[in-house]
Structure formats: structure tokens, C-alpha cells
Amino acid sequence: MPNASDTETVRAPGARPAAAGSARAGRGGFLLPPWARWAGLALGAALVLLFPELSPNAYVLSAGVIVASYACTATAWSFMGGFTGYVSLGHAAFFGLGAYGTGILIRDLDLQPFLAWLLSGLIVLVITVPIGIAALRVRGASFVIVSISFVLILLLVFQAWEGFTGGANGLNVPRPFADLYRPDHHRIFYYLFVALLAAMLVSWWAIDRSRFGAGLKAIREDEDKAEALGVPTRDYKLAAYLVSATFTALAGGMYALWFGDLDPIFQFSILLGAYMVLMALLGGARHLFGPLVGAVVVGSALEYFKLEFGDTQLHLVATALLLGVVVLFMPDGVIPAATALLRRLGPQASSIREITAEELLARNRAASGGSADPADPLPTEGAGDSDPAGPGNQRKEG
């Protein structure tokens, strides 16, 4: 496979391309040469865009819309969970708020549906500021507790406040394209979800390459050291949280416009938040396309389970087992797991570092050689493993 050839290029044609190649390998773990990545990207995009034409019936198309919405939520989740390593089990809260915000704005203010959608994203952004400040005052355990509690409290409130939210009777959101047939409706929303996903992926990619992204990753690897080095950890975390929440809310609002019927039990469901985490982790939360891959796998599996086993609790058991396996055996997701496997089958690297000493030497030589630009901060993805986790690692900020 291409990874073998990658190491070949490192050795063969002089120092400068080698530096570029190894920097890329260090960055994401992808070992494919550039042309293969572009070809893969084009192929993936074509498949995604052609899906509605390929789907045999309206049911498959609607399942595709659901998977696309899962992909949006999982990618939105990874803005927080992937970059900073803060696992939020409560992102369903933002999904539900976005959905209900859209629905209520249309119902009460009679806004144009997509205007309501944008506005509700904005409202969620504002609501998230105090929540984020409260949640991010503490690290680790308390953050998770807050995130779960936020969903639970919203579930309670939206169920109890019937006059405003429709309570357990549900909230009916009028369809934005009232004169379309079901399949056409699905098709339009499939493309809308894909467009939203594309916007997220581009933002993710831009953040990944930015100083902001480097700061977030530094927080993930060692928050104390990052802070000591002058990363404004609180502001960065809050910013990432806001981006993540807003995108989740936009996905939720889109879902409301598509599905047209909201129920607190399903919108503010812990299970939905768990799906986001599962999808992102399964695919690899640190990778651009990881959550998307995870969403395709988990989303299709969920749809299959619903179709095959209906209302039984089997999908819970399956989700639980899958989550357990992912957490225990491949917490970095399938993309790194697959890359590691390829690497193991390919030429052996003896170092536990992300880049080998050899590659580092080649890189440094290239750097001192002049024009090469490996100045971008290298993410130290291996640091988590090699650092013994003393209590100092997890000390709270003052």
C-alpha cells in the first residue's frame, strides 16, 4: 500500500521532499501521497454528492439524511472533543436548543424558516457563553458532569414548560418547502446537510492549521504546560466550545426543518450526545474526516438495527458494546488504528515518537538547509502516552 512508497520517497529523492513528506505524516497520521489524498477526497465527495441519485428508494434517502445529520453533529462535536480533548456527553443539549429555537421562532414570530434557523444558531451561541464559562472553570470530571447535567435539565424544562415548548405533545415545525413531495424534500435536505457539513469541515481544516488550533491541541496534550507557555487556555477553550455548540445547534435546527416534529425525549436525549461521541471517537476525533467516517458507520448501523429489530433494546446493547470496544481498544479511532496497522505491516519504525529520529534529522537538515518551512508547530500526539500522568498533569488552574 502507499505507505510503503511514502517511506521510499523519504529516502530516495533528497532532503526537501522528504521533509515535506514526514511533516505531513507527523501531522495527521496519513501516510498517503498527496495525489492519492486528493483522488480519495474527490471520490468521497462524488460518492456523497451522488448518493441521492444512487439510493433505490425514499427510505434509503431518508436514512441518508439522518446519517448526514449525524455526520454534522459528530463533526461539530469534534471541534471541542477532538481539538481540546474535553469530552462532552451533553452536546444533544445544543442540538435540541437549535431545533427548538428554530421551531419556536417560526411558530411565534413567523420568520422565514432559514432565517429562523440562523437566528436560533445565534441564540444558542449566546446561551452557551455562560454555560461554557461555568463548565470550563473546572477540568475533566466536572466538565463531563456539567455537560450531562445540562441535557438533563433541559429535558426537564422542555417537558415541564408545555405552554412554550409543547411539552411531551411535541412541537410541530412547518416544512419550509411545503409544496414538495417527500423524496424531493429528503433530497433537498440531504444536500443542505452536506453543505453544512462542508462548511464545518472547511472550518475544522482552517482551525487545524491555525495558531488557535495549535493552542487547542496544546491544551489537549497538557493544559498546564500550554498555560505556562502563554496559551490563553480559558479563552481558547471557550471559543472552541462556542464554535462546537453553534455548529451543533445549526445541525439541530436543520433537523427540525427537515423532520418537522420535535419531542424533548428525542431532542434532549443523552443517547444522542453519546452517539456523537461514539461516532467521533470511532472514526478518530483528531482527524478531519474521522467523525464523518464514524457517522457513516454508526449511523448506518443504527438505521439497520431500527429496521431489523424495531423497538427492542438491542440497539442500546449494540451501541454500548461498540462504545466500550472503541474506548478500550482504539480510543484514537479507526483512522489511526488503520494507519498503525499499515505501519506495522510496512517498514518498521523503532521509535514511539510520532516521527522517527531519522525523519527528524532529515527535517532539521532540510530546515537548516534553507528554504523549507517546517516551522509550523508540530502536534505532539505521542506526548499523552509517553508522559507519566503524575497528579501534576491534572492540576486545576488557579
- Compare residues 352 and 375 and give the one whose CB is closer to other proteins: 352
Nearest approach in angstroms of CB 361 to other proteins is 28
**Residue 117 or 150 with smaller CB distance to other proteins:** 150
Min dist. Cβ of residue 131 to other proteins (A)? 8
Q: Shortest Cβ distance from residue 389 to other proteins (Å)?
A: 4
Per-residue cell: 42 = 474527490
Compare residues 281 and 292 and give the one whose CB is closer to other proteins. Answer: 281
Q: Tell me, what amino acid is at 107?
A: R
Pick the closest to residue 395 from 146, 224, 218, 145 (CA basis). Answer: 224
Instruction: List interacting residues with other proteins (CB under 8 A).
Output: 85-87, 89, 133-135, 137-142, 144-146, 148-150, 152-153, 156-157, 159-160, 270-271, 274, 277, 281, 312-317, 319-321, 323-324, 327-328, 331, 384-385, 387-391, 393-396
Q: Ramachandran region of residue 189, left (φ > 0), alpha (ψ -120 to 50) or beta?
A: alpha
- Residue 171: strand, helix, or coil: strand
- Please give the C-alpha separations between residue 244 and each of 77, 133, 148, 184, 210, in angstroms, as whole numbers: 6, 14, 16, 30, 16
User: Which CB atom, from 31 or from 242, has the smaller least distance to other proteins?
Assistant: 242
Euclidean distance between CA atoms 284 and 331, whole angstroms: 8
Three-state secondary structure call for residue 346: coil
CB 395 to other proteins: min, Å:
5
Is residue 288 classed as helix, strand or coil in its secondary structure? coil
Measured CA to CA, the distance from residue 392 to residue 395 in angstroms comes to 5
Helix locations, 140-181, DSSP H = 141-160, 162-165
> Of 90 and 299, which CB lies nearer to other proteins in the complex structure?
90
Q: Of 93 and 288, which CB lies nearer to other proteins in the complex structure?
A: 93
Give least dist CB 46 to other proteins, A: 34
Q: Which among 66, 51, 4 has a CA at the least distance from the CA of 31?
A: 4
Nearest-approach distance from CB 398 to other proteins, in angstroms? 9
User: How many beta carbons lie within 10 A of that of residue 322, not counting itself?
Assistant: 16
- b vs e for 17-38, b when ≥16 Cβ sit within 10 Å of the residue's Cβ? ebbbbbbbbbbbbbbbbeeeee
Nearest distance in Å: CB 393, other proteins: 7
Nearer to other proteins, 176 or 283 (CB): 283
Q: Tell me how far, at minimum, the Cβ of 285 lies from other proteins, in Å.
A: 11
Answer for the pair 149, 93: CB distance below 8 angstroms, yes or no: no
